[in-house]
Chains A and B, each alone.
Chain A
């Protein structure tokens, strides 16, 4: 201010011109401040730039006003205008002796330039001089500029000077020097570039012991980044870090470091981050830091946001390092405060922290289900998104449908492209991992395509096509129907009427607003392929399918050649499958294009189709021409030829290794190769040989492990080349074989088949139809499903179980059940539990609602030492848990019963009425209670010492938590016993169905246990539903992972059955109640 005043005085002395110039800055600020619109602002800045150009190019430039010019330039750049004309001037001002001008010039340069800019070269000398300045302010300025402007190629020029500054007496300089070195380290994080051999870390370690806390805190930043790259060399620093953290949290730093009475919170947070990086996956290290973490957590309070920030960081550290039960317990306790807080910010971090804890202790989320639901329904998008992330992390096979539903809901309302992309990725990932049925997968992915097709990876489309191809006719038919309806919807909209769309099983209700969007091309390609391949299965006549296919072009007038080609191939296939040239479609397609509409049974659509073919015959695109000609030629061929060229449902045909080997040899190319060799071309070298050669000759710096061929690369390449070879061969010889043709649709199919399958073999074979088992998704997911080794006999066994119901029947069960449930229970009981509670139940697999949780929880919780309660799921749990309580990680008995295929002994279901239940419980228990006992069942084996024991033993030793728990426990023990006595169950999901009823029935009848009879009933029904699923898929329906079981067991204090089962139970219960002529409230005990 003072200097300004002096300037004004000086201005008054020198006269009006100077005064006018002096006011330029103030005028600029005023003008910018008064701007009402962006356009006005732009105009002001443009004028200013003109003025500055004029002033700066003036040879009589007033150097004393350099600072002002620099700031005006900064303004121009900040407001989005290019001021590059002045960069050179800024460089000149940087060497100005006036510290104000110099600092402003450096500031301008750091704002304008980045370290890649060539102009920086001109600055290096000035920078070096300034770093050696006597004035520590100048040194600091130069060092800060170095953190922004020095690139990898200049590091070595300034490095020695910067290191020297580490010993500067002024702590500000040391601090800045450390940060400059930090920047250099970031330029070369692996220390293999310009900083190779430089002992950067040694300096950081030294500076960690600096007597000034601010220098220490700077070196923490630097060390943190190095530790993130590779924590191993820094393990010996753990004692230093813990001791610093201890001292900081004990308030040993000067008061001036306090922030709202919290001792140096930002240093604490940085230290916590460092400890997290050091302790991750390192048990010994984690144990060393446990005490100090506990102390930090305890000392921070939520009285101020910064305290919450420290707690949040503590929780993040605790969940990152090797899990420690006590710490996890304390962390869970702390975040409870966050989640209960009215502040959105605290709830946001609470959800985030909860996601971390849930990863280690799945029970944690269930405790806070109400809070989580609140956040999910919050109008705040950020919070919702964060909650969806939490849900994404806790998704299991049992709650995927609800969670994906929620995500789709968000997707349909979200407009941010990045978030949409992220959600699409998550949905695809989840669907791939946990899809309960192929029908569901197909519906979901198609829905994703519809909602946000532009974000879906084409690989997902291939996976979808492949999955559809692998399924049986019923799914094909339902896919065809679903896609026809999608096209219907699009067509209707295009003609301006109200949209009526629905997907096969109604996962997501389609709103007219959203379906107004045109379908993206990727899904259209899929639709073309599906309708071409399976269009003959449609319920409507082939003509109508043809009309829909051709109708695509009415909506998408600018369809790409790729889509048109696909469409042509689809038409050809459709014609071939519906009677060839003499069929209705065939007739339409090959009729001469004479402009006479409706000569065949075609009508307008037929005419359109004929038009399309005709246009393509004369298309500029050679591929379209070829396809169109092929189509016509093929349709004119004799039926056997046509059938061979376009066989029905042969997209999944298996090639024998011999076939492939024959093709891979490429005999027809030999002549060409011989000619090329004769012409002097280099002989072909296989990749291995090539690799060896470059390894010898090339520089060793270019060989990285990542470039080694992946295990599946060879078969993949072989398969694709062989496919290409087929195509090439075909087109040469003029006869088209296989399902393919040269069309893209076939390309899609082949590509899909080539996508590395779960059972990626090392032989080049296209095994697209392995019997049973899960067929899509990366291999690692297979383990998630626990037992997946489905033998080839699985499918026949499952098939033998009974007539498979149509896929459509299975689909609503899995997808729509959640929704249908509320309606039925309401009509039955008249007392509807709120939607939220039911949702919570389905989401958290909780026993209905929080009330049930609290009712059942204390019993089981009391049986477990606190430490055990905290540790769950995951490998840690098994490691630390006493062997006696969980000898073997076994799936939840309930899950086993419900997921495996147990055919229902129908006569057993009947006597199992609620009346019988009530009698066994005593008159005081309402009939609905058996459900509680069912839920409590898994708690039995968990809390008992001998989980694998027989019925009596378990029943006897288990603590009974009430009148209903007794039977429940023995019930659980019972199921457990069955399960334990049949270890191979998991390996033979199909065989299970046959083998199971006998022991089941026997035991049941001998025990006279009504609960068990009921349970078996569900198991049976569930088994039916699953096995009835398409193509033996149900047989391989994912058995619940051992992990999930453990998690549930742990979560279950409340003994939570997962939701689909609950619906099964409920449906069954309702049926039985109807049978028994009673209408007890099934939720009576769950939700009261």
Chain B
């Protein structure tokens, strides 16, 4: 299962963090994210998109300045997670239109809502873009 998902820019600043069934204190999260990000940023294109950290396997993918890092347990299919990240980015792209780091910073809640549609309990429940965006777009249109 997926344990956490981080969005970190290439300066190492966290833009979004979501944990699944992995309850860590703020300090623990901070330490974990620091280590994971440091390791990830030190990797080159010539290395594979996976690495192990503590009990997690980290699968990461880079889009422009933003890294998507997903911590999974041992039984997860790394390639599938890698593609899940891409699928997620495609959905974001469809929602925001040419998604960029600033979009995510300005509307982090939308990213969370989209993620909530795709990932529940650390399981990939839905990757159908129409399904995912329907409630999100409905919410946008709801009167404030």
Taking Cβ atoms with an 8 Å cutoff, the residues of A that contact B are 2-3, 6-7, 26, 29, 32-33, 35, 41, 64, 67, 70-71, 74-75, 77-82, 98-100, 103-104, 107, 111, 114-116, 136-137, 140, 144, 147, 171-172, 175-176, 179, 182-183, 186, 213-214, 217-218, 221, 224, 254, 256-257, 259, 264-266, 269-270, 273, 305-306, 308-310, 312-313, 316, 343-349, 379-383, 385, 416, 418-419
Cβ-defined contact, B46 with A344, below 8 A: yes
CB contact under 8 A between A257 and B127, given known A41-B13, A306-B80: yes
CB contact under 8 A between A29 and B124, given known A345-B78, A345-B82: no
Cβ contacts A to B, 10 pairs, < 8 Å: A2-B140, A6-B144, A33-B102, A41-B13, A75-B108, A186-B21, A313-B77, A380-B46, A381-B51, A418-B54
For the complex, give the distance between the alpha carbons of A1022 and B131 in Å: 69
With a CB–CB cut-off of 8 A, which chain B residues contact A3? 143-144
Cβ-defined contact, B48 with A382, below 8 A: yes
For the complex, give the distance between the alpha carbons of A147 and B129 in Å: 22
With a CB–CB cut-off of 8 A, which chain B residues contact A100? 139, 142, 144
A156 to nearest B CB, angstroms? 19
Cβ-defined contact, A309 with B135, below 8 A: no
Give the interface SS of chain A, mostly helix, strand, loop or mixed: helix
With a CB–CB cut-off of 8 A, which chain B residues contact A7? 144
Residue in B21, B51, B83, B105 whose Cβ sees the most chain A Cβ within 10 Å: B83
For the complex, give the distance between the alpha carbons of A1006 and B12 in Å: 78
For the complex, give the distance between the alpha carbons of A679 and B138 in Å: 80
For the complex, give the distance between the alpha carbons of A379 and B46 in Å: 9
Cβ-defined contact, A344 with B47, below 8 A: yes
List CB contacts (< 8 Å) of B77-103 with chain A. Answer: 77-80, 82-84, 87, 102
With a CB–CB cut-off of 8 A, which chain A residues contact B130? 256
With a CB–CB cut-off of 8 A, which chain A residues contact B116? 144
Cβ-defined contact, A382 with B23, below 8 A: no
With a CB–CB cut-off of 8 A, which chain B residues contact A71? 108-109
CB contact under 8 A between A107 and B127, given known A32-B13, A78-B16: no
For the complex, give the distance between the alpha carbons of A316 and B79 in Å: 13
Residue in B23, B27, B75, B80 whose Cβ sees the most chain A Cβ within 10 Å: B80
Given A80-B14, A183-B120, A214-B126, 5 new contacts (CB under 8 A)? A78-B14, A137-B139, A218-B120, A349-B78, A382-B52
For the complex, give the distance between the alpha carbons of A175 and B109 in Å: 21
Cβ-defined contact, A179 with B21, below 8 A: no
B87 to nearest A CB, angstroms? 6
**Closest chain A residue, CB of each to CB of B58:** A382
Cβ-defined contact, A80 with B121, below 8 A: no
**Closest chain A residue, CB of each to CB of B131:** A214
Cβ-defined contact, B75 with A306, below 8 A: no
Cβ-defined contact, B127 with A103, below 8 A: no
With a CB–CB cut-off of 8 A, which chain A residues contact B138? 137
Per CB-CB distance, the 3 closest pairs between chain A and chain B, nearest first, are: A344-B48, A309-B79, A114-B23
With a CB–CB cut-off of 8 A, which chain B residues contact A2? 140
B92 to nearest A CB, angstroms? 15
With a CB–CB cut-off of 8 A, which chain A residues contact B46? 344, 379-380
Per-position binary interface string of chain B over residues 55-78, scored 1 when its CB falls under 8 Å from any chain A CB and 0 otherwise: 100000000000000000001011
Contact of B83 among A6, A265, A349 (CB under 8 A): A265
For the complex, give the distance between the alpha carbons of A6 and B128 in Å: 32
B58 to nearest A CB, angstroms? 9
With a CB–CB cut-off of 8 A, which chain A residues contact B139? 99-100, 103, 137
A334 to nearest B CB, angstroms? 13
Cβ-defined contact, A99 with B142, below 8 A: yes
Q: Is B112 positioned at the interface, with any CB of A under 8 Å from its CB?
A: yes
Cβ-defined contact, B52 with A418, below 8 A: yes
B68 to nearest A CB, angstroms? 15
Count of chain A to chain B residue pairs whose CB atoms are closer than 8 Å in the complex = 183
Cβ-defined contact, B83 with A306, below 8 A: yes
B6 to nearest A CB, angstroms? 9
For the complex, give the distance between the alpha carbons of A214 and B23 in Å: 27
For the complex, give the distance between the alpha carbons of A146 and B17 in Å: 19
A110 to nearest B CB, angstroms? 9
With a CB–CB cut-off of 8 A, which chain B residues contact A64? 144
Contact of B128 among A80, A214, A385 (CB under 8 A): A214
A72 to nearest B CB, angstroms? 10
With a CB–CB cut-off of 8 A, which chain B residues contact A82? 26
Residue in B21, B46, B53, B123 whose Cβ sees the most chain A Cβ within 10 Å: B123
Contact of A218 among B21, B52, B125 (CB under 8 A): B125
For the complex, give the distance between the alpha carbons of A176 and B126 in Å: 11
For the complex, give the distance between the alpha carbons of A2 and B106 in Å: 14
With a CB–CB cut-off of 8 A, which chain B residues contact A175? 125-126
B137 to nearest A CB, angstroms? 11
Cβ-defined contact, A382 with B50, below 8 A: yes
A100 to nearest B CB, angstroms? 6
Cβ-defined contact, B112 with A308, below 8 A: no
With a CB–CB cut-off of 8 A, which chain B residues contact A308? 79
Cβ-defined contact, B109 with A305, below 8 A: no
Cβ-defined contact, B14 with A79, below 8 A: yes
**Closest chain B residue, CB of each to CB of A272:** B77
Cβ-defined contact, B142 with A80, below 8 A: no
Contact of A269 among B26, B51, B77, B140 (CB under 8 A): B77
**Closest chain A residue, CB of each to CB of B112:** A107
For the complex, give the distance between the alpha carbons of A991 and B144 in Å: 91
Contact of A176 among B13, B16, B120 (CB under 8 A): B120
Cβ-defined contact, B121 with A179, below 8 A: yes
**Closest chain B residue, CB of each to CB of A175:** B125
For the complex, give the distance between the alpha carbons of A148 and B63 in Å: 29
B140 to nearest A CB, angstroms? 8
Cβ-defined contact, B77 with A104, below 8 A: no
With a CB–CB cut-off of 8 A, which chain A residues contact B117? 172
For the complex, give the distance between the alpha carbons of A111 and B127 in Å: 23
A136 to nearest B CB, angstroms? 8
Cβ-defined contact, B48 with A347, below 8 A: yes
CB contact under 8 A between A382 and B128, given known A179-B123, A305-B82, A309-B77: no
Cβ-defined contact, A98 with B144, below 8 A: yes
CB contact under 8 A between A104 and B109, given known A78-B16, A418-B54: yes
**Closest chain A residue, CB of each to CB of B47:** A380
Cβ-defined contact, A379 with B47, below 8 A: yes
A330 to nearest B CB, angstroms? 18
A226 to nearest B CB, angstroms? 13
CB contact under 8 A between A348 and B50, given known A71-B108, A74-B108: yes
For the complex, give the distance between the alpha carbons of A81 and B29 in Å: 10
For the complex, give the distance between the alpha carbons of A264 and B33 in Å: 32
**Closest chain A residue, CB of each to CB of B127:** A266
A272 to nearest B CB, angstroms? 9
Cβ-defined contact, B125 with A179, below 8 A: yes
With a CB–CB cut-off of 8 A, which chain A residues contact B14? 78-80
With a CB–CB cut-off of 8 A, which chain B residues contact A347? 48
For the complex, give the distance between the alpha carbons of A81 and B14 in Å: 13
